[in-house]
Structure 1
């Protein structure tokens, strides 16, 4: 009998993958799955499609469930006045998918939503996505080695079950907004809105507004609405570092600039690389007592005082904590807006809401027509729904205190579960889009092994997760993130948690994720672990168009065997002007 390709080495078995979330991470995953993988278990399904899509597809083995009516995640949900990305638009794109016609230096939420919609359409990704579907529970079935999901169709209200071999959680870092813990939220009779759940029907013009919080959202909202409101009271519990934007203040690109970006891809590439290099050169800012930290602190202090234009009360303008302890917030125009006649800055917290407004910590009462809570998100990383792994353990309970992950992409005790932007991802360490891609690539290394070997399940070893957590804790003691500031990196506490950030720069993360560390994983097989060797025939021999002599060549073009040389080739070492390297004051040198 002739050999069969399905019995040959590295046969690609059919698999089914379910992902939750169709934001930047979920769309990146769908694109990379489509680009690199071919064999999936096909199932028949129907689609709820947004208005800009005019067709439907019924067969797919990759399923993405999205609770919203459209793709783009946080950029679909956040629509507050002035909502924009504080990363230059030309760099808040997938590394391989530039957009030459961005209208502004910094893109609004609406423009970013359009970018992800266009990406979804261009690569035909909507066939993988089912909108208005809310996952209620995911449960690992050990006997079947599969994930069982309970899903609710938000259009019909009906619930149904689904099954997959690999389950991917891509719900994002800032996806669960929360009301502030203030007494009397239900007593206030005016309009109460949260920045991340904006109600566009609320009228702000000529009203008395209360703005609680002074993070990125509050900075953008205040700058946007200040000219039109009658009076705005801004409640600031602690000062904030206001950082100069990477590419200067917000402005509209001229038609000539957009034409140059469109007609000269090399020019656009040079701009993107310059922005990325600037962002990637700043990591030592986050290390305590570094030269860059001290230089930036002096510079930003001077810039803030100049922008403010007047003397703030002592200790109210310049934070005592280091630059970067809280998320760096660019705020062009914010400090000048605080000096306007219709702005009252209150340097204390809100003790309670009343029928007419609010009561301050000192007992003073304020009458307000609208209260805006720009108070952020639940950054505990606890999943939005129960995820039950080995022995029925719920990841919501496991991560109720200090979460533990493996490199930000997996959790011990939860087989065949992978995640994007999980705890200890580099969400504040530098550029984020390339980090999402690096996580997706690492995840797909595991998917590839699962598909081409006789693997039943894979899960990070508990010892590997614990060792990673210990390293993170040790590293964080040398960073500004563990200083006494209230931060989303610590789930909006001052010191109750270890910051859930990657222990290094974004480039450091990319390098760490470039290769799969199989020794960190508990991999279980169907039968003999070498059964994937099959019938002794190569898949190449079953390809009638392949070169059976591909190993013969006239020069050595193979990849270098050392990581160092591979890194130098990848980073184009020797091609850039020499720059000043990281410097630190000697008393606090990091030794890990």
Structure 2
């Protein structure tokens, strides 16, 4: 320890000018905060750019009535920041407060620039860095860029003829207007996914009439959400107990998600889930067999993202709620017309139509060869572990291709650690660029697609597939295996480049300086080795 500290003091005295790479993180939600914590622990300088007025990401944007998580609160949180939750499945406002608390606790907020929408990320070969712009503003050069915007963040607006002429109010659930009052209104909700399943039971009691337009039903399972008892809250105050509970939850999920058993028709796990969903339909709609038929899917369980809700099905039995088992064909000034040609008068049109799922960012990424990342993919998104793309140096994605599913926050923690290790590895190599090798990436994706073959993902109409039918969003196994893969498939798959020629002495001093800076963990001035 004393030798390390002495070396640092000597290097500071010589004042070698070898700055660490600047890292730009785009997005200030779960992914951006996870990246910030990992980069801060690694001693790397970073800036988080967030387009909204504050951090929170999707949980800042999505304020629609009933917004809450589908994953248990204990899992939908960082392992290093446990909390005494009020409910088994936390609601939007409490979750947003949690993210703010984490940002404050780990001193991330001081690195955040809110109200800044990055729209272009372009590699500049002469600088060996990316130049970021926001409109006409130059945000500066950053050697490393992390996309932390996820892939379910850009609202998908239907292209219905006449939508612009609608005389009422049309809203997308992810852009819910503050103060929207539906009392006494005729409301149309389009979509039957997880968002609609939260919106409908929350607003239905206030509506004069609510029409739910369903193009295709989804499988629904009871959520079993509830408030925690005081005894359970007391138990959560023990970090050790909460960590054990978290691991037990992960392990149970791991067993059911190994090779996507829960989503693979013919497995005991898949059969049990579908039987539970069918029983739920039969019990809830015992007196409404025609409605039971309308909400029963024709595809195998797991073909689309299952809906978890205790309130959605009962809401469909309300006298002021009707299910229209048809898609919307067009919009008129007075309402919507379904595919059978029937017009429905509407005051408020709610589009629970989800998000773009093509991994198209709201900013252009221009790589070293001048091509946009979208051109590199050409409609077939793929990456090493969803994180790195060959020939796109120093660029990382969180929640990238084939990383959806399972305990997503656990995935994000593993991805953030991978990024920090990659940048540290580049620093220690004395390089200016780090890239992932093409051959290992191709092998990884071939193996991944083989493990996804035979799942219900491939058979249903869903957002999981590209135009060719290749599954581009889903991970093939559980969160624990994914975290292990990020450890094993790191350094052996990386390559370095771009370092200018220097003398051996310059290389040694540059490496020593960077290593010494990395060795300092922000623990109140305590110096330690990088591996502790």
Aligned equivalents of 1:364 and 1:150: distance in 2? 48
1:589: which partner in 2?
Answer: none
2:487: which partner in 1?
Answer: 514
Aligned pair in 2 of structure 1 residues 444, 12: CA closer, same or farther (>3 Å)? Answer: farther
Aligned equivalents of 2:276 and 2:121: distance in 1? 49
Q: Tell me, yes or no, if structure 1 residue 251 matches structure 2 residue 257.
A: no
Aligned equivalents of 1:5 and 1:308: distance in 2? 74
Q: Tell me, yes or no, if structure 1 residue 27 matches structure 2 residue 33.
A: yes
1:96: which partner in 2?
Answer: 80
CA contact (8 A) 2:169 2:349 kept: yes
Deviation at 1:223, TM superposition (A): 1.2
CA contact (8 A) 1:212 1:236 kept: yes
- Of the three residues 448, 454, 465, the one matched with 1:490 is 465
1:222: which partner in 2?
Answer: 200
- Of the three residues 134, 147, 152, the one matched with 1:151 is 134
Aligned equivalents of 2:305 and 2:516: distance in 1? 54
Aligned equivalents of 1:304 and 1:165: distance in 2? 54
Larger helix proportion, structure 1 or 2? Answer: 2
Q: Tell me, yes or no, if structure 1 residue 68 matches structure 2 residue 52.
A: yes
Aligned pair in 2 of structure 1 residues 519, 260: CA closer, same or farther (>3 Å)? Answer: closer
Aligned pair in 2 of structure 1 residues 186, 537: CA closer, same or farther (>3 Å)? Answer: closer
Aligned equivalents of 2:189 and 2:455: distance in 1? 31
Deviation at 1:7, TM superposition (A): 13
SS at match of 1:404: coil
Residues 380-434 of structure 1 show CA distances to partners (whole Å, capped at 9, x for unaligned) of: 0012111100221011333341112121001122111111111111x21x11111
Within 5 A, what are the aligned runs for 1:11-410?
Answer: 13-37=19-43, 61-100=45-84, 102-152=85-135, 159-245=137-223, 248=224, 250-262=225-237, 264-283=238-257, 284-309=261-286, 310-312=288-290, 315-410=293-388
SS at match of 2:48: strand
Q: Which runs of 5+ in 2 are unaligned?
A: 1-5, 521-530
Deviation at 1:353, TM superposition (A): 0.5
Question: Which shifted more, 167-176 or 299-308?
Answer: 299-308
1:436: which partner in 2?
Answer: 412
Aligned equivalents of 1:302 and 1:159: distance in 2? 57
CA contact (8 A) 1:481 1:499 kept: no
SS at match of 1:139: strand
1:534: which partner in 2?
Answer: 508
Aligned pair in 2 of structure 1 residues 451, 535: CA closer, same or farther (>3 Å)? Answer: closer
CA contact (8 A) 2:37 2:106 kept: yes
Deviation at 1:542, TM superposition (A): 9.1
Deviation at 1:454, TM superposition (A): 1.3
2:3: which partner in 1?
Answer: none
2:451: which partner in 1?
Answer: 475
SS at match of 2:206: coil
Aligned pair in 2 of structure 1 residues 129, 480: CA closer, same or farther (>3 Å)? Answer: same
Aligned equivalents of 1:456 and 1:534: distance in 2? 15
SS at match of 1:221: helix
1:590: which partner in 2?
Answer: none
CA contact (8 A) 1:382 1:400 kept: no
Aligned equivalents of 1:518 and 1:295: distance in 2? 40
- Of the three residues 424, 434, 446, the one matched with 2:422 is 446
Deviation at 1:507, TM superposition (A): 2.1
Count of residues in correspondence between the two structures: 506
Deviation at 1:497, TM superposition (A): 4.2
Aligned pair in 2 of structure 1 residues 79, 314: CA closer, same or farther (>3 Å)? Answer: closer
Aligned equivalents of 1:504 and 1:261: distance in 2? 28
Residues 278-307 of structure 1 show CA distances to partners (whole Å, capped at 9, x for unaligned) of: 333321112232121112212221122212
Q: Tell me, yes or no, if structure 1 residue 420 matches structure 2 residue 381.
A: no
Residues 27-69 of structure 1 show CA distances to partners (whole Å, capped at 9, x for unaligned) of: 111111112225xxxxxxxxxxxxxxxxxxxxxx311110000
Deviation at 1:87, TM superposition (A): 1.1
Aligned pair in 2 of structure 1 residues 533, 516: CA closer, same or farther (>3 Å)? Answer: farther
Question: Which shifted more, 343-352 or 295-304?
Answer: 295-304
CA contact (8 A) 1:240 1:319 kept: yes
The normalised TM-score by structure 1 is 0.80
Structure with greater contact order relative to length (CA < 8 Å, sep ≥ 6): 2
